[in-house]
Amino acid sequence: MTIVNSIFNWINYKRIYEIDLYREHAREIQEEVLFNLLNTAKGTEWGEKYHYGNTKSWESYKDRVPITRYETLEPLINRMIQGDKNVLWPGVMKWFAKSSGTTNAKSKFIPVSKESLDDCHFRGGKDVLAIYYRNYPEASLLSGKSLTLGGSHQVTNLSNKAYYGDLSAIMIENLPFWTDFHRTPPTEIALIPEFEEKIAQITLTAIQENVTSLAGVPSWFLVLLRYVLDYTGKKNISEVWPNLELFIHGGVSFEPYKEQYKRIISSDKMNYMETYNASEGFFAIQDDPSSPDMLLMLDYGVFYEFIVAGHTEAKYPVTIPLWEVEIGINYAMVISTNGGLWRYLIGDTVTFTSRDPYKIRITGRTKHFINAFGEEIIIDNAERAIKQACAATGAIICDYSAGPIFMTENQTKGAHEWLIEFNTLPDNMERFTTVLDKELQNLNSDYEAKRYKSATLERPHVLAVADGTFLQWMRERGKVGGQNKVPRLANNREFIDGLLRIHQNIELKSKCG
């Protein structure tokens, strides 16, 4: 593999050099992206409406074009689905990614142009390999295949001229034929809609292959790997695929699953690499194995703006460009893309950990938080507190979700209810709850103030739910597999009450024998 690696690294040298330029020329790169987008779309309906042809600066762009959400663009996207051309992006849009986001049960169809496929999504995949080989020049990925676990929506006719599916399905349909030699399972299995059938078929196929890398969402991949172990009778995934060395993951935080992966893949040569890849675009890649921070990719045809989190609902939200962000501030991300999304509030929140180069951590969703009592708990707080509670008590978590307990005549103070499905229960549940509570206070001064002498908030109510609760809940919602995510936090009891019902039903069936 030394000769092959040398050739591969030589081919990637120019690209690595371009990525290194992010450090010194971030503003110039982003401004070039914006002006290319405006020039390309100036003849579209949207571009003509907002005078793209004579928009010469970011300042004039933000003054002319409003912040948009899916609901804003939906009528235009529906026209594009019916074959109307030059609406948000030049030409006719053929592909639409069915979003599996958790902020809204309603289906969203995100336009996917040829430019967004080639210059964003596919380039992101290539850059993952380029960065990995820079970090590990003697890697052996190319000696085997990548096992991918994508979405469960096959590409389907949306109209006479348009198709939809999970982004992964659309990418598979558009990949060059030669990539089939480097990935598993084959297309017909990868696109099986029924999750349980899919993992069974993937297992039968993949155990015969020399798998060197995995790519997918940590929560669902864990289900697949456990199935593989059960089927093969092996105790460790390394016994099935001895040359496995990389898991490329994204979609949800890896923290709750890290210990489980270490146990199930106990190999010294195993590496993990996070990516920030959504239906709307490929945004960031973990470029340093020693840090979870991700490098924001600046030349993928995506122009970034940011709103201080909590201010997105203002009538005229104030945005700043990349070159004005500050480290440690929680921002909602706004994107303009080569798929025809313009100043689009994607719904994710991030914080910058570095400006030289620009690196981020995903902190949550603009609609996924708990602020029923002014405590402003975000997903990043929850993930870090859960990690500490697990470390203190030897617990391993499968899934969790939390929401408020509102004040009533009988409940004179508020609280947070945490429903947690454990793979390994804490050695002391009281201590788990105490550490969770204390760590949340350490991380969040608003929560700490509300917890002071339990004046407003009681200590968390933590319930270990029955095995299979979250899987059954996701199945009922039609969100099993692929990029679907368990919502970690909510400012109401919609998710919590549904999970409690399923937990109680499982417990009742268990008692009835």
| Encoded tokens for 484 | 């679907």
Q: What is the mean pLDDT of residues 445-462?
A: 87
- Map residue 22 onto helix, strand or coil: helix
What's the mean pLDDT in 201-214?
95
Query: Is residue 175 in a domain?
Result: yes
| pLDDT tens readout for residues 409-447 | 676 788 999 999 999 999 999 999 999 999 999 998 889
Give the structural domain span for 246: 116-278
- Two tokens, residue 86: 């030059």
- Of the residues 261, 278, 295, which one is the last residue of a structural domain? 278
Question: At which of 262, 278, 294 does a domain end?
Answer: 278
> Whole-angstrom Cα distance, residue 306 to residue 343?
10
Q: 257 with 385, same domain? A: no
212, 244, 278 - which closes a domain: 278
How far apart CA 307 and CA 325 sit, in angstroms, is 9
Pair (271, 130) in one structural domain: yes
pTM: 0.83
Confidence at residue 132, expressed as pLDDT on a 0 to 100 scale: 95
Answer whether residue 258 is part of any domain. yes
Instruction: Domain count for the chain, please give it.
Output: 2
Instruction: Work out the average pLDDT over 335-351.
Output: 95
| Amino acid code (one letter) for 374 | G
Structure tokens at 226: 């456990």
Distances (CA, A) of 448 to 243, 257, 374, 376, 457: 47, 27, 11, 11, 9
pLDDT of residue 188: 85
Q: Classify burial at 107, counting beta carbons within 10 Å of its beta carbon; exposed 0-12, middle 13-18, buried 19 or more.
A: exposed
438, 394 contact by CB (below 8 A): no
Note the pLDDT tens digit of each residue in 463-491: 999 999 999 999 888 877 766 788 899 88
Alpha carbon distance 268, 271 (integer Å): 8
251 and 379 belong to one structural domain:
no
What number is the average pLDDT over the span 129-142?
A: 92
Alpha-carbon distances, residue 202 vs 184, 195, 206, 221, 229 (angstroms): 8, 10, 6, 11, 13
